[in-house]
A and B are shown apart, each in its own frame.
Chain A
Amino acid sequence: MNCQLASDSVLYANGLYRVVYNVAGSFLPCWLAYLIAGLVIIFILVNAVLLGAAVITWGERRVLGRFQNRVGPNRWGPFGMFQPIADLLKLLTKEDLRPQGSDRIVFALVPILMVAPLILLTAVIPFAKNAALASLNVGVLYILAVSSVSSVAIFMAGWSSNNRYAMFGAARAVAVLISYEVPVVLSLLGVVMVAASMSLGSIVEAQALPFILVMPMAFLVFLAGMSAELNRSPFDVAEAESEIIAGYHTEYSGVRFALIQAAEFGGVGVVAAIAAVLFLGGWSGPWSEYLGWLWFLLKTGVVVFLFIWFRATYPRLRIDQIMAFSWKFLLPLSMINLAAVTLEVFFLRGDDGSLTTADLGIMAAINIVVTVVSVIVFGNLIRDRVTLRTRQPQQVAVPGVPTIEVS
């Protein structure tokens, strides 16, 4: 039995997959080798996502602690690193509660539906050169499609919980997710246009100059949109703790809650990885042949840190303000970005349709100016009269108010 993987298969580029497939294929039927190789990769990915989520929970709590003048978890393991394991063990021993009158099947499906898209997303992320499980030629489209599944899961959670706070959270989450999809898609169009490909691997290779410099506005819109889609501060209305308890996951406890938390923090990691691939040059860096994974992890870590920083700093916006921010600020910005990039690509591209590093440099110079100008202009347009009036402590005469005097 000598199995051959078709070289145009989406799995062909993955070295590990080929090794496992060839070894298994040497003594097993081809379909079984195909299956076993797939399962091995899935096992690795699932664990990578969950372990990543654990590391991010720990990191977030430590970093938040430092932001807030406190220590954060530091008891178990070096620097408290095993804290997520302790948390998980605690949650696993909890009673599995289901509220009365809940839709049992939908309620139980939600945690699975929340974790699944994350694992699917990791399948296309190139951790290093040729290290993506599947180098899809429609990678960006795939990311956008799969990441939208979580809004369905959130709404299912709100609907099935039979809890009004959960319903509030779910309604808010769906409204936010749908609004922020639009500017995010538009900002990613610019990336696709410059790279002239939707495959994540080709996008990384096209970044002779990281796209964060070539189109900073797209990066800003992407970052804002993604913090809204992840329900993170300042757009965390879906689980606004001070308003609606925990939002859509109010009724979840025990292992289901653990899965939802894992999905939330894993989501941060995956989105940070996508941002690193699309805007920060993914695995590229010095000695990227050998150290690509390190650069990739570093860049991902920087974006994760940005998200934690946002969370430690910003108060939350109200739902109508979040909507206004999306439609009146991010959407125009992403459209300006798209228009600018389109024109630049049209005028700068060579005869074969490719862009040189010098072209990218010119684009960066133009786009940084465009970004600064349009952020200032649109920022002033939506400021909504929040200018400061300095007020000194003083007696103010109030018309129509009887004066009260004490003898």
Chain B
Amino acid sequence: MTIRTEPVTVNVGPQHPSTHGVFRVRITFDGEDIVEVEPVFGYLHRGSEKLAEERNYVQVITLTDRLDYTSSMINNQAYCLAVEKLLEVEPPPRAKYLRTLTAELQRIASHLIAVGFFVQELGAFGTPLMYSFRSRERILDLFEMLCGARVTVSYMRPGGVFADAPRDFWPALDRFLEDFEEELAEMEQLLLENEILMVRTRGVSPIPAEVAINCSVSGPVLRASGINWDWRKQEPYDAYDQVEFDVPIGSNGDNYDRFWVRMQEIHQSLRIVRQCIAQIEPGQVRLDLPLVLRPEAGREAYGRVEASKGELAFYLVSDGGISPYRCKIRSPSLINLTIIEHLLVGWKLADMIVSLGSIDINMGEVDR
């Protein structure tokens, strides 16, 4: 007697505990092995690009908060850079440093979430996630001191930032940096050389450098594949040309490398934050721009930053009115998802979730 087997198609998501929101993949399994992958997006589509055409330039900032809600500071930064290019203005130096500093704090917070959920998806029941959230809470507290909001911050404005940091922000930041060193060391001790974590992630779902470039992925996923590419170095914006930092590079492009690159980037971000604190000088934090901005008709601008998940860019076109004629968002999560087939096919069900976690997608940004 022969036993007949047949592939099984499973809808993973949109209601699944670990697809990072409402992501859905139709996966065909042969036993536990993945043979076919078909991603389906759009469950969180809110029409942000169209909404931006109905609002004035400053109001659009609140929409950018809601793209990648784990790194709203960096989204603000990308949008404000685009508007500043459109207006051909440059923010004052103190504003530049404040932007760099908050963006790096946000990068730390975002990477903490990425790493925490990555290990959670490996099956560590909550503990690493809670450890990383403990530190993230402190960062959100700092943001609350700056602008009153914790997640959807809307802190930056075209031509600077919303307001200068309050006086007690700086000692609080120092205290955070001091404690965070310890907390980070604790996390690294638990995770970086964890044997089970390494057996599960080493050599799993490697993305070769050619594939990474051809799929135009960016951010930690690209760097894990061994390519030295970071917009903060290639095309420095704000105060990044004033600070020193290294770009961590992986060598195999596997899940462990993607995780490792994020852990190292947290260290580099800390370095940048320290330098910003040392270099920042008193002064104006916002240009005196009119409340309603009217860039010249026919102008267009492309504002690009290295967000925590990759290259985030806003392409704005002006028709001389009070709101953008067109606002195109190049979101890293969506474009990083294009490697999903290389990432999943041939690996097991258990690796699928971990690989999805390793590219750190955020559905708010994928569906916009």
A residues apposed to B, CB below 8 Å: 64, 67-70, 164-165, 168, 233-234, 236-237, 240-245, 311-321, 384, 386, 388, 391, 393-396, 398, 400-402, 404, 406
Q: Are B350 and A401 in contact (CB under 8 A)?
A: no
Q: A317: which of B200, B210, B246 is its contact (CB, 8 Å)?
A: B200
Cα(A240)–Cα(B17), bound, Å: 11
Q: Contacts of A395 on B, CB cut-off 8 Å?
A: 228, 249
In the complex, per-residue mask of B191-206: 1 if CB is within 8 Å of any chain A CB, else 0: 0011111111010000
Q: B196: which of A165, A315, A400, A402 is its contact (CB, 8 Å)?
A: A315
Q: Are B348 and A393 in contact (CB under 8 A)?
A: no
> Taking CB as reference atom, which chain A residue is nearest B123?
A316
Q: B248: which of A243, A312, A386, A393 is its contact (CB, 8 Å)?
A: A393
Q: A64: which of B16, B125, B227 is its contact (CB, 8 Å)?
A: B125
Q: Are B249 and A394 in contact (CB under 8 A)?
A: yes
Q: Knowing A67-B127, A406-B235 touch, does A242 contact B17 (C-beta < 8 A)?
A: yes
> Taking CB as reference atom, which chain A residue is nearest B121?
A242
In the complex, per-residue mask of B168-209: 1 if CB is within 8 Å of any chain A CB, else 0: 000000000000000000000000011111111010000001
Q: Knowing A168-B32, A244-B349, A315-B122 touch, does A69 contact B130 (C-beta < 8 A)?
A: yes
Q: Knowing A164-B10, A243-B18 touch, does A386 contact B202 (C-beta < 8 A)?
A: yes
Q: Are A70 and B248 in contact (CB under 8 A)?
A: no
The 10 closest A-B pairs by CB, nearest first: A316-B123, A393-B248, A68-B130, A315-B122, A242-B18, A315-B124, A393-B246, A398-B209, A242-B121, A395-B228
Cα(A320)–Cα(B10), bound, Å: 21
Q: Contacts of A243 on B, CB cut-off 8 Å?
A: 18, 121, 123, 349-350, 352-353
Q: Does B242 contact A (CB under 8 A)?
A: no
Q: Contacts of A234 on B, CB cut-off 8 Å?
A: 123, 196
Q: Contacts of B321 on A, CB cut-off 8 Å?
A: none
Which of B121, B193, B247 is the most central at the interface, judged by chain A CB atoms within 10 Å of its CB? B121
Q: Contacts of B350 on A, CB cut-off 8 Å?
A: 237, 240, 243, 316, 318-319
Secondary structure call for the A interface: loop
Q: Between A and B, how many residue pairs show CB distances below 8 Å?
A: 120
Q: A401: which of B10, B196, B209 is its contact (CB, 8 Å)?
A: B209
Q: Contacts of B127 on A, CB cut-off 8 Å?
A: 67-68, 312-313
Q: Does B120 contact A (CB under 8 A)?
A: yes
Q: Are A165 and B249 in contact (CB under 8 A)?
A: no
Q: Does B44 contact A (CB under 8 A)?
A: no
B residues 111-159 with Cβ under 8 Å of A? 119-127, 130-131, 134
B residues apposed to A, CB below 8 Å: 8, 10, 16-18, 32, 119-127, 130-131, 134, 193-200, 202, 209-210, 213, 225-229, 234-235, 246-251, 260, 264, 268, 348-353
Q: Are B124 and A165 in contact (CB under 8 A)?
A: no
Q: B17: which of A70, A245, A388, A391 is its contact (CB, 8 Å)?
A: A245
Q: Contacts of A240 on B, CB cut-off 8 Å?
A: 123, 350
Q: How far is the CB of A47 from chain B (nearest CB, A)?
A: 29
Q: Contacts of B123 on A, CB cut-off 8 Å?
A: 233-234, 236, 240, 242-243, 314-317
Q: Contacts of A402 on B, CB cut-off 8 Å?
A: 213
Q: Contacts of B122 on A, CB cut-off 8 Å?
A: 242, 315-316
Cα(A404)–Cα(B218), bound, Å: 13
Q: Are A391 and B229 in contact (CB under 8 A)?
A: no
Q: Known pairs A314-B123, A394-B246. 14 more at Cβ < 8 A?
A: A168-B32, A233-B125, A241-B17, A242-B122, A243-B121, A315-B123, A316-B124, A317-B199, A386-B195, A396-B226, A398-B226, A398-B227, A400-B209, A402-B213
Q: How far is the CB of B331 from chain A (nearest CB, A)?
A: 21
Cα(A234)–Cα(B124), bound, Å: 8
Cα(A406)–Cα(B311), bound, Å: 15
Q: Contacts of B234 on A, CB cut-off 8 Å?
A: 406
Q: Are A69 and B353 in contact (CB under 8 A)?
A: no
Q: A386: which of B119, B198, B227 is its contact (CB, 8 Å)?
A: B198
Q: Are B353 and A404 in contact (CB under 8 A)?
A: no
Cα(A134)–Cα(B155), bound, Å: 71
